[in-house]
Amino acid sequence: MDRRKFLKVGAVGAAAVPLASPALAQGTMQWKMVTAWPKNLPGPGVAAQMLADRITTLSGGRIEVKLYAAGELVPGPGVFDAVSEGTAELYHAVPAYWGSKSKGILLFGSQPFGLLADEQFGWMAHGGGQALYDEMYGRFGVKPFLCGNSGPQWGGWFRNEINSAEDLKGLKFRTTGLASEMCSKLGMAAEAMSGPAMFQALQTGALDAGEFIGPWTDSALGYQQIAKNYYWPGVGEPSSAEECGVNAEVFGSLPDDLKNAVAMACESLYNPVWTEYVTKHAISLKKLVEEDGVQIREFPEDVIAAMGQAAAEVIAELRENDDELVQRITESFLAYRDNVGAYKSYADNGQMNARAKVLGY
């Protein structure tokens, strides 16, 4: 893995030229996919290319998707607007990046002390989440689909050990989404930036700590070279859904079979992407410890308690948001989390606890 190649990805891409409609060549539509990631970055960059390829395949080649990595056509943070405005037909990113548009968007990606990867998909498919997802993104001319998940993210890379919640105060920390609001309430200086930019900020001392995704992706970006303390659990993001956003006008103009092809390409990748993360995170973590000298550390109990209180305040503010749609999204999320969580305390937790007693993990 060439980390330097990832770090060369610029914040500003080439000038964007809006498209009135998909270009047609002998009945084939040429679609541009813009992404928030360096090309083929382990994890999200790989998943983005998988999605581009799968849409092309499932459409029978009638939609040819060409992927543009962050900075190649538009900057990574600009992919939502590029699709909304018609510069590109679709994007691959995460909802955590669009909180400036609406706080309600953030709930579709991850929530502090929130949904695990299977629960996130369950909320969308069986708990009314997709209708709310469509309603929110429809305001911006985007048709959204979940298309993957990183699974539980990690607490972050820290230069120094964390012994109490007091140690968090004043820390310059990279994170995104609702996790950043939780961290701000703990007295941390939360900053959003790309994965490569986080490496540079840790290297220069502009950051004291930060979290990106998990061992597979994080090790490719080289954080272990600078900060050796790798903390768990990442309660700020118990999972992080990846999404595909399609220009709503373009999507609406498709015949039904191609609409279904796009939808199925996204849905069919959710589990393969998630399980690849889990598998390769496990392999990468072992290497980080055995070959790179990384110290795995658990957040102290008072830190988890403080995070829980801060997260509760974040959710309470969402419930009182001035936007009625944000309120409905929040209530739907809470109802699903509490209902399924109560069941899983017996089912999933019971199995994991029993396995730990017998096998030690």
Residue 135, annotated as binding a ligand: no
**Helix (H), strand (E) counts: the chain:** 14, 12
d(CA 28, CA 317): 47
Question: Is 104 buried (19+), middle (13-18) or exposed (0-12) by CB count in 10 A?
Answer: buried
Q: Record the pTM.
A: 0.91
Residue 331, annotated as binding a ligand: no
Residue 4, annotated as binding a ligand: no
Q: Tell how strand 28-35 and strand 63-68 pair up.
A: parallel
Residue 174, annotated as binding a ligand: yes
| All domains of the chain in start order, with CATH | 11-149+239-279 (3.40.190.170)
The gap between the terminal CA atoms of the chain, to the nearest Å, is: 30
Q: In this structure, which amino acid lies at residue 279?
A: T
φ, ψ dihedrals at 318, nearest 5°? -65, -40
Local structure of residue 107 (DSSP, 8 states): T
Residue 237, annotated as binding a ligand: yes
d(CA 328, CA 289): 44
> Which single residue is written with the structure tokens 């998943």?
47
Show the beta-strand stretches assigned E in the chain: 23-25, 28-35, 63-68, 90-93, 142-149, 156-158, 172-174, 189-191, 209-210, 229-232, 241-247, 295-298
Q: Tell how strand 23-25 and strand 28-35 pair up.
A: antiparallel
pLDDT of residue 27: 79
The closest alpha carbon to 231, from 171, 145, 276, belongs to 171
d(CA 116, CA 127): 14
Q: In this structure, which amino acid lies at residue 331?
A: E
User: If DSSP codes are grouped into helix, strand and coil, which group holds residue 251?
Assistant: helix
pLDDT lower than 50: segments of the chain: 1-25
pLDDT of residue 22: 46
Asked if the bond preceding 112 is cis, omega within 30° of 0, the reply is no
